[in-house]
Amino acid sequence: MKPKEALKIHFGYDSFKPGQEEIVDAILRGRDVLAIMPTGAGKSVCYQIPAVLLPGLTVVVSPLISLMQDQVKALKAAGIPAGYINSSLTEAQIARVYDNALNGAYRLLYVAPERLETYDFSAFARQATVAMVTVDEAHCISQWGQDFRPSYLKIVSFIDSLPKRPVVSAFTATATEEVKNDIACVLRLRTPKTVVTGFDRENLWFDVESVRKKDEYVLDYARRHPDDSGIIYCATRKNVDAVHALLVKAGVRAARYHAGMTQAERKENQDDFIYDRSPVIVATNAFGMGIDKSNVRYVLHYNMPQSMENYYQEAGRAGRDGAPAQCVLLFSAQDIIINRLLLDNKEFTDVPEEDIGLIRERDARRLQIMEGYCRTSSCLRNTILSYFGEAPAAPCGNCGNCQREFTETDMTEEAKKVVNCVYETKGRYGLGILTGTLLGANRARLKELGTTEYRTYGALKHLSEALLRLLISQLLLEGYLVQTADRYSVIRLGNIAPLKDPATRVLVRTHEDQQPETQRRRSTDSLTKAGFALFDALRRLRLTLAREEGVPPYVVFSDKTLIEMSAKTPQDKAAMLRVSGVGEMRYQKYGAAFLEAIAAFLQENPGAVTSIADPEAPPEAEKAAGKKTKKPKEAFYLRPGDGEGFRSGDLYLEAEIKDELNRICTAENVKPVFGADIRRLMESWGYITEKKINKMLLPFPTERGTAKGIVTGTKTSQAGNSYTVLLYPPEIQKEIVAYYTKNDVR
């Protein structure tokens, strides 16, 4: 099989995203890889596809044991057998996983780095054929990264201990030079193919809001996006608890997560979020690494984070599926104080004394840059991208600043007063003293320092404090002033020469605080009203299926895939497979249920859905669809006596059984039964199960099912592919009829 075919069959995608194909090819040619791609760029696929194709096992080192199970479930849904080993398993379970892995039952095995050095694991690894070791979140190996984990340093001795050196691939979203070099050196990658993709995430909408009442903003936002999943990041545990309490009190289903909670509580809250039981989570930055939830539609920052690296990583957890998503940072000057405190109290373990000063300085510098982002009135996306070393061309037109209406004010004269004041301070004071002096504030501290005697004391008293701060940050951005990065950060003169040229102007852009949301793209923008109703129905079906199977909903299909389905309304397998994200493997599991739901919807709302290809949807259709206010339908059931009409056949397909059931049903206002319902019912009765054959999950009768007379057969699709079907004898058909018959209705 070629990589591209594997991408289609397992993941349902027609083409690779930037960087993916290069990486997959390099690995398959036996070359080490170091990939630096932003969150949501699709790093997993880069090692999962080689894992399917390489002869041997891929060991994936991943930082969070609490997420391995979900990762393995997601792979299973894509028809890729995988296992994991962590401390949540019993000895006996672990032994079984080792056995399975040795017997070639898995393509991938997930482990935490601590596990690698255990006796059992090295004994296992020496016997197994390890084709590749993949290090996910590889920045954890670097002391320069945000999430250094000493146990990551042990990966290399594990690799050395293997009888034959496997291919090594490392993945991270952290782009700094230091981290990149650390990864390559510490892991001893051999002339790795280094792939760095662009950092832009086009589907994300960025904004900074300077709001005084953050609580109100957050609550209002959550209420206005009731069906969306979102993350709200706060700087401290206290803030997490407060914002969480606020939301819960207002009836928003929200989970919370911080390091002050017990491990069990954290796991439970994390799961509530991943499984969409609580669409919103309020968390500190302890939350998120390794979370692959693709349908996060917004990330709000209640406080400013400590660095652009942090911000982009956290905000980037929105919209992994590629559908539009929003990232809003709520900024207040208070945030700078909170963050300085947090950095001051930062503890260092395993760091040489002489590095601590350097790290503190670096942290302070990062904080300043973050503040610059919060205060800039230029394009936010470009501010981010230039920080990460890209040189974007025009303003993006798709961020808060690009969409705001600005007033540009010439503040050259005021700028000169600021510079003069800094001159008078001899660069000894920070922002507070500087603004106080220029505004002519009546503060004891200013008298004490003597700044009330300056010629510039009160020179800008006609300005508001906010406008003065805006002017100062503009001067910092343009380099006329510089801010030192130490703890008691002071402001000094930068290169002021250009200001002496009378032609030089200092322009400050001011804008209204809050903008209406109308211009932002939403994930469902491509849908008409009826299309949205269908999306809603499909989203509910996804939740039901996910709950039945115990997998996170996004594992069934991503938001983006459901949105495309709702716009294209596929009515057969071929059309369904053309929807991005629907591959052969997922089609086998879920295709029928979604096809039926779409058919049912179209039957009820004929002509209502207009596709993406026709964005000018006829308003009549919308109106027609909107007018109907019907009682919600009940789950399928048969009334007593209905069953007598069931025409048993010798051996029936699931589809034939459901056709008969729907035909004989006399109950009113019930949903039809689907082929997939029958499949799941049979599984729940223990009659059938799924087995991996040639890396594909196929349905089979269990011993019990065989005894009952279930047999397997093959059918050929219109496209000429053959697939496995199950055939059920009359006895089981009768059992199914009895199961659906409600005896307590008339």
User: Which residues are near ligand ADP by CB under 6 A?
Assistant: 11, 13, 16-17, 20, 37, 39-45, 292, 294, 320-322, 558
Question: Are 31 and 166 spatial neighbours (Cβ–Cβ below 8 Å)?
Answer: no
CA dist 310 and 175 (Å) reads 12
E strands present in 554-695: 688-693
Question: Are 388 and 175 spatial neighbours (Cβ–Cβ below 8 Å)?
Answer: yes
Q: Give the total of residues touching Mg ion (CB under 5 A).
A: 1
Q: Smallest distance, Å, CB 78 to ligand ADP? A: 9
Nearer to Mg ion, 62 or 306 (CB): 62
Nearer to ligand ADP, 40 or 436 (CB): 40
The partner in contact with residue 193, picked from Mg ion, ligand ADP, none with C-beta cut-offs of 5 to 8 angstroms by kind, is none
Binding string, residues 508-537; x marks residues near Mg ion by CB under 5 A? ------------------------------
Q: Smallest distance, Å, CB 291 to ligand ADP? A: 9
Q: Smallest distance, Å, CB 577 to ligand ADP? A: 15
- Phi and psi at 604, nearest 5°, equal -80, -30
Q: Smallest distance, Å, CB 17 to ligand ADP? A: 4
Nearer to ligand ADP, 314 or 660 (CB): 314
The partner in contact with residue 23, picked from Mg ion, ligand ADP, none with C-beta cut-offs of 5 to 8 angstroms by kind, is none
Q: Smallest distance, Å, CB 37 to Mg ion? A: 9
Q: Smallest distance, Å, CB 42 to ligand ADP? A: 3
DSSP string covering 452-518, please?
A: GGSTTTTTTTTS-HHHHHHHHHHHHHTTSEEE--SSS--EEE---GGGGSTT---EEEEE-S---GG
Q: Smallest distance, Å, CB 680 to ligand ADP? A: 24
CA dist 714 and 548 (Å) reads 27
Give the interface segment with Mg ion, choosing from 36-44, 150-158, 378-386, 454-462 (CB under 5 A).
Answer: 36-44
Distances (CA, A) of 688 to 388, 545, 594, 715, 739: 52, 17, 21, 18, 17
Q: Smallest distance, Å, CB 258 to ligand ADP? A: 22
Question: Are 243 and 257 spatial neighbours (Cβ–Cβ below 8 Å)?
Answer: no
The partner in contact with residue 534, picked from ligand ADP, Mg ion, none with C-beta cut-offs of 5 to 8 angstroms by kind, is none
Nearer to Mg ion, 174 or 382 (CB): 174
Nearer to ligand ADP, 16 or 646 (CB): 16
The partner in contact with residue 13, picked from ligand ADP, Mg ion, none with C-beta cut-offs of 5 to 8 angstroms by kind, is ligand ADP
The partner in contact with residue 39, picked from Mg ion, ligand ADP, none with C-beta cut-offs of 5 to 8 angstroms by kind, is ligand ADP
Q: Smallest distance, Å, CB 292 to ligand ADP? A: 4
Nearer to ligand ADP, 294 or 526 (CB): 294
Site for Mg ion in 38-57 (CB under 5 A): 43
CA dist 76 and 696 (Å) reads 9
CB atoms within 10 A of CB 122: 16
E strands present in 186-283: 193-196, 204-209, 229-233, 254-257, 280-283
Q: Smallest distance, Å, CB 39 to ligand ADP? A: 4
The partner in contact with residue 652, picked from Mg ion, ligand ADP, none with C-beta cut-offs of 5 to 8 angstroms by kind, is none
Question: Torsion angle of alpha carbons 534, 539, 543, 546, nearest 10°?
Answer: 100
Q: Smallest distance, Å, CB 289 to Mg ion? A: 9
DSSP state of 583: -
CA atoms within 13 A on the CB side of 112: 18
The partner in contact with residue 40, picked from ligand ADP, Mg ion, none with C-beta cut-offs of 5 to 8 angstroms by kind, is ligand ADP
First to last CA, the chain: 56
3-state secondary structure of 230: strand
Q: Smallest distance, Å, CB 7 to Mg ion? A: 17
Nearer to Mg ion, 43 or 256 (CB): 43
- Phi and psi at 64, nearest 5°, equal -115, 115
Q: Smallest distance, Å, CB 578 to ligand ADP? A: 14
Nearest to 200 by CA among 384, 408, 426, 447: 384
The partner in contact with residue 321, picked from ligand ADP, Mg ion, none with C-beta cut-offs of 5 to 8 angstroms by kind, is ligand ADP
Nearer to Mg ion, 63 or 372 (CB): 63
The partner in contact with residue 588, picked from Mg ion, ligand ADP, none with C-beta cut-offs of 5 to 8 angstroms by kind, is none
The 10 Å CB-count burial string (b at 16+, else e) for 55-66 is ebbbbbbbbbbb
Nearer to ligand ADP, 41 or 402 (CB): 41
Nearer to ligand ADP, 44 or 412 (CB): 44
CA dist 445 and 439 (Å) reads 14
Nearer to ligand ADP, 136 or 424 (CB): 136
3-state secondary structure of 224: helix
Nearer to ligand ADP, 375 or 586 (CB): 586
Nearest to 646 by CA among 745, 736, 727, 728: 736
CA dist 7 and 16 (Å) reads 8
Nearest to 458 by CA among 466, 468, 449, 448: 468
CA dist 663 and 672 (Å) reads 10
Nearer to Mg ion, 20 or 425 (CB): 20
Strand-pairing partners, residue 406, are: 511
Question: Are 257 and 269 spatial neighbours (Cβ–Cβ below 8 Å)?
Answer: yes
Q: Smallest distance, Å, CB 694 to ligand ADP? A: 23
Nearer to ligand ADP, 239 or 285 (CB): 285
Strand-pairing partners, residue 698, are: 691
Nearest to 424 by CA among 401, 456, 392: 456
Closest residue to ligand ADP, based on beta-carbon distance: 42
User: Contact positions toward Mg ion, by CB under 5 A?
Assistant: 43
